[in-house]
Each structure stands twice: as C-alpha cells, then as structure tokens.
Amino acid sequence: MIQKLSSNHLTKLWSSYSNFIENRTYSEKTNRSQSEIWKDRVFTQIVKFAFPTAVFPLTVSIIIEYFDYNYLTAIVDLVAFLSVVLVVISKKTTIQSKKYFGIAIMIIFSLVKIITLHSLLLGTIYLLLSSVITTLLLNKKAAYLSVALNATICICFTIAQMKGFPMHKLNIYNSDISIRWILFTFNIIFVNSVMVSVIIYITDGFEKTIEKSKRLSAKLKMEVKEKVEREKLLQETTTHYKSLFYLNPFPILIYNPSSLHLLNINKAAINQYRYSKKEFLNMKINNLADCTEVEFKNRLSEDNAHYIGTHIDKTGEKIIADMYVSSIKLDGISVRLAIVRNITAETEYIATIARKKKKMREIAFLQSHVIRKPLSQILGIIELIKAGPIDQKEFEQLLSHLISSTEELDIVVTDIIHQTR
C-alpha cells in the first residue's frame, strides 16, 4: 500500500514537473514548420531529462572538487548549471535564445574543464555533445559552425603546445609528445564531422518525411473534403432529381433506347395511362404510341426530339400527347427520358375556337349580305311613305311589301341565332 502511494506521488510529481518544463519551453511563434516543431519538442525532452539527471553527478562533482581544493571548478559547475536552469525557466526569453544559451554554456564549460582539470578527453566529450545538440536543435549552418569551432579549439591547443605552452600537464595519452596531441586533434575533428554529417542526414530525412507526411495528410484531408462535398452534391442532385421525377405533374417515362423497354415511370404516368408500375415495366414505350418500334425510333431519332401524336391508355381512350425526348445518363447507362404532356383538352379547345371563328365569319357574311336586302327594302318603303300623300291602293301595296320584307328579315335573324348557339 505504501509502495502504491509512493508510486502515485512520484507519478504526479513527474507529471507536474513535465508540464512545468513544457510550458517554459513552449514556442509562441506562429506558422512554424513541422521541422521547427519537432526540434522544439526535442529541446523540451533534452531539458526535461537533463535537469534531474544532472543533479546527482553535479552534487558529487562539487563535493569531490571541494575536498580536492578545486574551488574554481566547483564554482564553474554550479554557476553553469544554475544559469542554464534560470534561462530555460524564464518566461521572457524565447525558445531559440534558450537553445543558443545552453549550447554556449556547454562550450564554455568544456573549455573550463580542459584548462582546470588538465584533461582534453573530458572537455572534448562536452564539445562533441554540444555539436550533437546543435545539430538536433538548430539549422545546418549552426551545425557546421559547431564543427568548425571545435576544430578551432583543438587546433589552438595544438599550436599552444607546439609554441611551448605547458600543455604536457594535460592528461591525454599519458605522454608529452606533440604528435599525439595532433593525432588526437585531427581524430576528434574527423569524428565530430562524421557525427554531425550523419545526424544532419538523419534529421534531413526525418524532416523530409515529416514534410511529405504533412503534404500527404493535407492532400488526404483535401481529397476527403472534396469527396464529402461531391457526395453531398450528389445527394442533393439525387434528391432534386427524385423530386423533379416523382413529383412532376407531367408523366415522365425512362426507357432503353435500343429495346424501348420502359425502365422507370412516375406517378403522373400511372394516373394518365392507368397502368400499374408493374405493367409499365413489362411494356415498351411504342405500345403507348400505338406504333411499331421502327416507326417510334424514326420519329424520335435525334438526341433532343419533339413529337406530337396519339397515345392510347389502358382503357383504349385516345390521348393527344406532346412528347419531348432527350438522352441522359442513369447509373452510368445511356437512357432516354420522355416528358409527356396531355394536350387532348387543349387540342379540342383550339378546334372549338376554330369552329366558332368559322361561324362568326358566316354570321358576318349574313350580316353584310343576306340581312342587307330585306333591311334595304324596309328602309325604302319607309322613305316612300314619308315622301308625300299616297292613295289607298298604293298604301296597301307598300304595306304588303313591308310585311314581306319583315318576314324575310325575321327568317335571316332566326338563322343567325341558330348558328350562334
């Protein structure tokens, strides 16, 4: 139970510490590349594990140096560690500045170790480590500059030894021969260069993989988005098509252009032709037009065709149909779509108007010719009566003509009335 509580406490403590370091090494820079993000994360991980792991060896080193009277070395160790900690946890310092500061402290620390401990081996370890960290955290230029700096440091110590500087005290190969210092220097430069080159090659490949993955991810997201939009558009188009097809007030017939078999029909077609959907799907469209397949194909051979003719419904009633036919794709297959408009009533109405126009022309003829004769006679008799005194015999003759003309006019008017009905 105690072990479990202790483990939980350590887990919470490590989690709090990790969150603190991540917050202090978080970059507020916008529009960072995937490579920059990865390098910042590497820096966070280095800091996260370096701080706690450095405490024990640092403490031991300070104690040993203190009792060995190497106070300067102990102070340098402590100041270097604390300065890095303070800069890293500072909120005001940018993450890039923290990287440069840490690398600079490491280089200075390695130089101090070479001079104070008289050991090139320990110092060059930190120089190599600084090159590795520089390569991981910064750009190629900084990585190659770190190699050049390390080479310069080694060459400077070589020259100093050759010029008589008491470098024999440095514990390198337990020998004071200058040639061994030169060999060690060039080997360090070679190893350093190879390490940096390999790490750059690895990080370049990793960066390319990240960028490629990013591009592929963006492309995949775009393709998924386009696919969703296409499916949405297709769904909307399908819904729109179904609405236009099934809810259309005009009969719509879809048929195979080769066999003329009906493939689909809407409700308006069922209402007009009085066949069930099952009966329709067992028919050919030319059966409705009461003609042969060849005749039907000849009438509607064009892609966008128009045809007016007689159709017959299930009861045998004739329908005057105005048909518009066009070619469409349905499920990837070329089919023909026919929109049929029943113009029977319209045709009959037009015929009725034509008949009435004919009657009106006949009435106009009667008015202008047939009515005019008896009417002129009546008007002439009236003028004779008004002209002057007439005897009894003349009056009777005029009256007889007036009655005759009136009867003739009545017959004509009655005929006109009958024609207008």
- What does the pLDDT read at residue 284? 93
Q: Which domains does the chain have, with CATH numbers?
A: 17-207 (no CATH), 248-342 (3.30.450.20), 355-420 (1.10.287)
- What does the pLDDT read at residue 183? 45
- What does the pLDDT read at residue 325? 92
Model confidence, pTM: 0.46
pLDDT tens for the chain, 421 residues: list them. Answer: 555 556 778 888 888 888 888 888 887 777 777 778 878 888 888 788 778 877 887 788 788 777 877 777 788 888 888 998 899 888 888 888 888 998 898 888 888 777 766 666 767 777 888 888 888 888 888 888 888 888 888 788 777 766 655 554 554 444 444 444 554 555 456 445 545 654 665 666 677 777 777 788 888 888 888 888 888 887 777 677 777 778 888 999 999 999 999 999 999 999 999 999 999 999 999 999 888 888 888 888 887 888 888 999 999 899 999 999 988 887 778 899 999 999 888 888 888 888 888 877 776 776 666 667 777 777 777 777 777 677 777 777 777 877 887 887 777 777 767 766 6
- What does the pLDDT read at residue 259? 92
- What does the pLDDT read at residue 276? 92
- What does the pLDDT read at residue 187? 47
- What does the pLDDT read at residue 84? 87
- What does the pLDDT read at residue 338? 92
User: With the CA atoms of 44, 46, 52 and 53 taken in that order, what torsion angle do they form, in degrees rounded to the nearest 10?
Assistant: 170
